[in-house]
């Protein structure tokens, strides 16, 4: 079973909610999701420190990055974490792992795209394989945060643009993006499995096979 790490920074709760939806998608695909939250207490003397987290990330098969977009770019707390991965880069600990990312912003500008571009650049520096979100063209429609219909493609990610004044505010999260987060988690898990030559099966299928095996032993 593949281990997929989701390391994120969330200030107001929305990014954390997306992270958990991505984790659910990973688990639904039959892989194992590990959530790692970047916390203020990890920043000591303007530098981020958590060797235990870094060692666990080094052991993961894939790493998905998440952060809100602040003032046109990635949040400072996540940047502090990224700066602290220099040792991982020197040791090539993340090389050839699958990487992905998601971002949140209340604004309609390109700040989310800038944040995703930063994640992709970070992954490239580490020699990682970027997971494209466009794995499924299935279309669905939901009521957005403002009550208006929102059309999404299941592979679209992220697409969080909600009215409000607080960046990363949980109340501004569009329900459609929770669904997109789950789909993205499944996409990443599927890519990891394909690269490893594995065949992923859902927990329901695995449970049914276990039950059938138990019945045969009776």
Of 128, 119, 60, the residue nearest 92 (C-alpha): 128
What tokens were used for 206?
Answer: 């695995």
Q: What is the pLDDT of residues 15-56, one digit of tens each?
A: 899 999 999 999 999 999 999 999 988 888 888 898 999 999
Closest CA to 3 of 194, 192, 206, 130: 192
Architecture of domain 3-217: 3-Layer(aba) Sandwich (3.40)
- What pLDDT is stored for residue 71 in this prediction? 77
pLDDT, residue 143, reads 44
Considering only residues 18 and 148, tell me which one the structure prediction assigns the higher pLDDT: 18
Per-residue pLDDT at 74: 86
Please give the pLDDT value at position 139.
47
**What pLDDT score was predicted for residue 202?**
57
Q: Is 45 left (phi over 0), alpha (psi -120 to 50) or beta?
A: left
pLDDT band for 162, please (50, 70, 90 cuts).
Answer: very low
pLDDT, one tens digit per residue, over 60-115 is: 999 999 998 887 778 889 999 999 999 999 999 999 999 999 988 776 655 778 88
Q: Which long-range contacts link 137-145 to residues 24+ away (Cβ below 8 Å)?
A: 140/176, 140/179, 142/174, 142/175, 142/176, 142/179, 143/175, 144/174, 144/175, 144/176, 145/171, 145/172, 145/173, 145/174, 145/175
pLDDT for 161 beyond 90: no
| Best-predicted range by mean pLDDT (12-16, 70-74, 142-146) | 12-16
Mean pLDDT for the chain overall = 79
In whole angstroms, give the CA distance from residue 58 to residue 55.
5
Structure tokens at 94: 């993340």
**Three-state DSSP class for residue 105:** strand
pTM of the model: 0.78
Q: Which residue has the higher pLDDT, 49 or 138?
A: 49
Task: Using the predicted structure, report yes or no on whether residue 159 has a pLDDT greater than 60.
Answer: no
Task: Assess whether pLDDT exceeds 70 at residue 155.
Answer: no
* pLDDT at 178 exceeding the cut of 90: no
Residue 217 CB contacts under 8 Å (≥ 6 apart), including other chains: none
Tokens representing residue 19 in the block: 């992270």
For the chain, what are the domain ranges?
3-217
Please say if the pLDDT value at position 206 is more than 80: no
- SS3 assignment, position 198: coil
């Amino acid at each position: 079973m593949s281990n997929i790490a989701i390391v994120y920074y969330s200030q107001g709760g929305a990014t954390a909610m997306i992270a958990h939806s991505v984790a659910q998608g990973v688990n639904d695909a039959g892989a194992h999701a590990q959530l790692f939250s970047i916390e203020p207490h990890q920043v000591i003397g303007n530098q981020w420190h958590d060797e235990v987290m870094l060692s666990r990330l080094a052991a993961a098969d894939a790493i998905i990055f998440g952060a809100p977009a602040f003032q046109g770019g990635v949040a400072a707390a996540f940047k502090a974490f990224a700066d602290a991965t220099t040792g991982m880069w020197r040791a090539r600990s993340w090389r050839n792992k699958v990487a992905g990312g998601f971002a949140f912003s209340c604004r309609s500008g390109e700040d989310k795209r800038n944040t995703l571009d930063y994640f992709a650049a970070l992954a490239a520096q580490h020699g990682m394989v970027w997971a494209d979100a466009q794995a499924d063209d299935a279309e669905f429609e939901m009521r957005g945060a403002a009550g208006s219909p929102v059309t999404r493609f299941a592979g679209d990610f992220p697409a969080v643009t909600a009215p409000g004044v607080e960046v990363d505010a949980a109340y501004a999260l569009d329900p459609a993006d929770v669904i997109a987060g789950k789909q993205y988690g499944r996409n990443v898990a599927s890519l990891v499995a394909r690269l490893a030559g594995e065949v992923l099966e859902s927990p329901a299928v695995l449970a049914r096979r276990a039950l059938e095996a138990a019945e045969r032993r009776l």
